[in-house]
Chain A
Amino acid sequence: MRYEIRHRTAYEYDNDVLLSHHIARLTPRELPHQRCAEHRVETFPNATTRSTHEDHFGNTATFLTLEGAHRRLEITSLNLVEVDTPVPCDPSKTPAWEEVRDRFGLELLPDPIAPVEFVFPSPQIPRRPEFREYARASFPAGCPVLAGALDLSRRIHDDFTFDPRATSVTTPVAEFFKTRRGVCQDFAQFMIACLRSVGLPARYVSGYLETLPPPGQAKLVGADASHAWVSVWCGEPGWVDIDPTNDVRPRDRHVTVAWGRDFSDVSPLRGVIVGSGHHTLSVAVDVTPVS
């Protein structure tokens, strides 16, 4: 599939902002099953400084500075992305989950090294006995790791309710576990917490999902949203994506932008402003299929 993706963030400030710095992670990644044909970030007013670098996880980060008094800031990312369905991975062919877990014992030299980073607790995702308890039901002895992870995704999808009003970007995983309501970020971070709590490497993926309008209706502009899901390390087959919010394995409707240990590593925009007063924020995402 080919998509045109437009992701616009607008800040409205109460008072003049004299100077602001931002770090954006809005550039879709290049992957075996994903190519980014066009990409640009536009700002209004114009950024006085911009530069990009590859971060520790290989994501593209863009540093932006805006000088001069402004009360409104718009940052728009425009992309043309081509996504194929990744080569499917047969859950029953993946190694037993204990085997994957034991490859990441503290003392051993993990092979490969990279996944070990995603076993440990991270700023927004703790490891907790109650998460392990919850996860264990999906991982009976000898269960293939991907089969277990898919079962976990199904249970989370069944046990938890999607509710955009229940949480914010900083809601702790433990609270989501208690209230059982939240959005994709909460679903993904909770599933990662479960996987790590049983000793499996899992990472947080941020991106976009093409949503389909109800049958017979036209799609509304700006109706899409940025999305988040989970990638679990499955040994030989490598990282396999799972979307617990929709309980699906991403195919060609999920567009990957960045990954990290949790939301704090991949937040699409992070900024510091010099000025006083409050601000309001609005985000609009459009994922439009093109031929």
Chain B
Amino acid sequence: MRSWGNTVTFHRDTPLGEATPDPELGELDARYAAPRLVYDELMGPAGSPRAHWRPLIRALGRLGIGELAARGEAARQFLRENGVTYNVYGDSQGFERTWQLDPLPLLIPPGEWSRLEAGLIQRTRLLGRILEDLHGPQELLARHGLPPALVYSNPAFLRPCRGIRPVGGVPLFLHAVDLTRSPDGQWWVLGDRTQAPSGAGYALVNRIALSRVFPEEFRECQVERLAGFFQVVRDTLRGLAPQNRENPTVALLTPGAYNEAYFEHAYLARYLGFPLVEGGDLTVRDRRVFIKTLEGLRPVDVILRRVDDTFCDPLELRADSFLGVPGLVEAARAGNVAIANPLGSGIVETPAMLAFLPALCRQLLGEELRLPSVGTWWCGQERELRHVTGHLPQLVIKRAFPSAAGGEPLFGRELDPERREALLSDIRSAPHAYVGQEEMALPTAPVLLEGGLVPRSLVLRAFICASPDGVHVMPGGLTRIAAGRRGSVVSTQSGGSSKDTWVLTDGPVSTVTLLRPAPAVVRIERQPSEVPSRVADNLFWLGRYAERLEDTVRLLRVVISRLSGEGAAGAPPELPGLVKLLVALELVPAATAAEGESTAKIERQVLLLIYQASRLGSVREVLARLRHIAFVVRDRFTADTWRIFNKLQMDAQARPGHLPVTESLSLLNTLILDLAGFNGMAMENMTRGHGWLFLDIGRRLERILHVLSLLTAVVRTDPEGALLLDPLLEVADSVMTYRRRYFARPQLSGVIDLLLLDDTNPRSVAFQLKALLADVTELPSAGGGVGGAGPEGGYLEQAAARLRMADALELGEAAGREGRGGLAFLLEALTRDVTATSDALCLHYFTHADSRVS
């Protein structure tokens, strides 16, 4: 969704003045030079800091600029470790970026805030009334309030939504307003976000990060808390439910992990306590919306959507959308689901509408518009068209409607005569499709950069939540900072940083937290439940890839240790066998095992298996899969788990230096520890619900397949067991156990017993089968009970029976023999059983989720 990707705002090049340094600032940074001719948040017109900044400056002055920088780094560290990211479209380097936060907050004094707040409240009420009319009687069109062209030629006017009354009676629930200031300090609205506004979650994360690194300063400055606002958001959403009013299900609908603000969706879902769902998790039956869970369908009463209007329903809106839910419009029409914001609310994002708000405000509310919008001229009107074409250099030309294609704003002053003529001719051929907007100078605020404070342009995004009993403004907001010194564009997509926004108060600070308020009757809720099938699918593969990565790292560590141990003195005797093993596992080309292949060449192949991301089965390749899948289900992880996962990512990015083998060995050691941490966290900190079961099943199936493929390869390349048994035990992390048990060099029979049959060895196939059989009895069955839905239990029983009947000594002797009774035969049969189990699980729980619930 372009929920703010196209929020591009402008200012003239900031004339940077040579203001005299201020003594009060001396303790912090005496060199801060606020620009003249624009409003600076810190420095007043007399060249000294504004009064409401003094407590913070004093406090920070005590810390000193060095400590300020250190705290800033600590905040950044916090964001990095918590995986606070922002996805950048079309970035080949790395799609996901860490969210940037400047350590200095933006301060807004109480009196100024209450004026701004009143203006924002009025604006939300006004836009709500406009929405109600446009989707209802459309009296505004008949009464000269809005030109009909602004509605009827507007792609954001969704005809299927006409006549749908918003369930709960809130036409505009969450509203975001982008604000700037003129040099006199007056706030101006640059634009509104009304369909699925983003940023509130980032504002919250900024607050959490900053209040952690400045706990005392935060207290001293008397800052309004944000939690109360989110409580209103949560309670209002629950209150919108048309049925199940006692205990409604509210779901947060996200376009998915590749949306620019996915982090925020996952974060808010967790913070508010709502399940995070994608379009594919929802289904419409009998004009009601349901979540597809492993246990069956569960009704959804309220949807907080982060999917844009037209993508929400392929049946009645954009037919090519894969992000929506077929039938959602009909469910809304029937009044069976509350959607916030209601479908169609994007129409009041129309830039051309800004020009009509003052008159609409008088007409609808009988009030003067408190908060002015940036000067906007809609070219559909004769006089306005003349103004725009006559003043092009002072204006920014935008599309009149919230459009997809060709929406980039054009700065009149930047156009050469040829392009100016082309633009004028475009405007004249479809005047109603264009607006001209005044180009406004943005205010500046100090930003910490390279040990000093420098002014940077900013835009403040404010958030407003309307509930049936009133309109509430978040006391704070998301302050976004231009990337460069003369940046004329503030947009998170094009880089740039952010600030926490501190609204100061005179009175006591209310201290609400989002811990659940005590309900009238306390219900103990144990059943974690409601795992969407898609999430179970992803957790299953997360388990498989995490295990695959660990197996790969362990195998390579064994090989690398043989390469590094003896130095240049000659290859260790086991190396050729190991290379053959890698060939048999199809990890390196067959030629690597050729007679007389130099150690250097082997080394190169092995290093490629670590670092080459394009190579199937390499550490980097498996890690990329793991990363992809973890990214998609990260709302299921605790903050600690995610921190460890991020460490794993960062550690794995190491490049080999001039001692590649030694360094690679230490890299592999680090990765094994990281993985142990990640697995431990994921395993220990997840409730034992269905999600956990699928994670565990995935991991155990993968481990079995790994042991089986290793044994198969060993039997094929070294039937005598002369060379590979030591390394094999090492890969399977069972050396100690073996030695304790046999006090001897490994024999094939002993190894078979330990790795296949011994159900007390946590690395053995028998052990995994026992655990898997326990897992599948916990799986939901079609009727809502447990015990599994498909034949997976049968396949596992079959494999377990094969092992029970096997005899290690016999198998060891028959290792080289083909046919029934031979080890190769057993390994093959077990592999078949396990693969069939995996397929059955996919079929019954993931792929055909629909067939079980109809």
Contacts and interface: CB of A to CB of B under 8 A. Distances in A.
Interface of A: 18-19, 21-23, 48-49, 51, 53-57, 63, 65, 67-69, 106-107, 109-110, 113, 116-117, 120-121, 265, 270-272, 274
Contacts, number: 88
B850 A51 contact: no
A106 B147 contact: yes
B853 to A, nearest CB: 9
B284 A56 contact: no
A53 B283 CA distance: 21
Nearest to B848: A18
A271 B526 CA distance: 40
B286 A48 contact: yes
Nearest to A271: B315
Contact of B287 (A49, A69, A121): A49
B673 interface: no
B224 to A, nearest CB: 44
B414 to A, nearest CB: 28
Contact of A49 (B152, B286, B850): B286
28 contacts: A18-B851, A21-B315, A21-B326, A21-B327, A21-B330, A49-B285, A49-B287, A53-B333, A54-B163, A55-B159, A56-B160, A63-B287, A65-B286, A65-B287, A65-B327, A67-B854, A106-B381, A106-B431, A106-B432, A107-B380, A107-B382, A116-B148, A117-B148, A121-B153, A265-B159, A270-B315, A270-B319, A274-B283
Contacts of B319: 270, 272
Nearest to B135: A56
Contacts of B326: 21, 272, 274
A18 B152 contact: no
B330 A63 contact: yes
Contacts of B432: 106
B314 A272 contact: yes
Contacts of A53: 163, 333
Interface in B322-369: 326-327, 330, 333-334
B766 to A, nearest CB: 38
Given A55-B162, A107-B380, 18 more contacts: A19-B285, A22-B315, A48-B286, A53-B163, A56-B160, A57-B159, A65-B284, A65-B287, A67-B854, A106-B432, A107-B382, A109-B148, A113-B141, A117-B152, A120-B152, A270-B315, A272-B314, A272-B315
Contacts of B141: 113
Interface string B135-151: 00000011010011100
B234 to A, nearest CB: 31
Counting from the closest, the 6 A-B pairs by CB-CB distance are: A120-B153, A272-B326, A56-B159, A106-B380, A117-B152, A18-B850
Interface bracket on B: 35 or more
Q: Among A53, A265, A272, A274, find the residue whose CB has the most chain B CB atoms closer than 10 A.
A: A272
A106 B141 CA distance: 12
A116 to B, nearest CB: 5
B160 A55 contact: yes
Contacts of B854: 18-19, 67-69
Contacts of A19: 283, 285, 850, 854
A23 B328 CA distance: 12
Interface string B2-41: 0000000000000000000000000000000000000000
A129 to B, nearest CB: 8
B81 interface: no
Contacts of A54: 163
Contacts of A69: 851, 854
Interface of B: 141-142, 144, 147-149, 152-153, 159-160, 162-163, 283-287, 314-316, 319, 326-327, 330, 333-334, 380-382, 431-432, 848, 850-851, 854
Contacts of A270: 315-316, 319
A120 B154 CA distance: 9
Contacts of B380: 106-107
B808 to A, nearest CB: 46
Contacts of B330: 21, 51, 63
Contacts of B851: 18, 69
Contact of B284 (A21, A51, A68): A21
Contacts of A63: 287, 327, 330
A266 B763 CA distance: 63
Contacts of A110: 148
Nearest to B155: A123
A274 B160 contact: no
Q: Among B330, B380, B382, B848, find the residue whose CB has the most chain A CB atoms closer than 10 A.
A: B330
Nearest to B381: A107
B486 to A, nearest CB: 38
A230 to B, nearest CB: 19
Contacts of A106: 147, 149, 380-381, 431-432
A54 B159 CA distance: 11
Nearest to B328: A21
Contacts of A57: 159
A116 B381 contact: no
A48 B142 CA distance: 41
A56 B149 contact: no
A33 B317 CA distance: 33
Contacts of B333: 53
B237 to A, nearest CB: 26
Contacts of B315: 21-23, 270-272
A63 B176 CA distance: 34
A116 B149 contact: yes
A232 B314 CA distance: 31
Nearest to A272: B326
A85 to B, nearest CB: 31
A22 B287 CA distance: 12
A121 to B, nearest CB: 7
Nearest to B851: A18
A22 B319 CA distance: 12
Contact of B163 (A56, A113, A274): A56
A245 B824 CA distance: 74
B375 to A, nearest CB: 19
Contacts of A121: 153
A48 B316 CA distance: 19
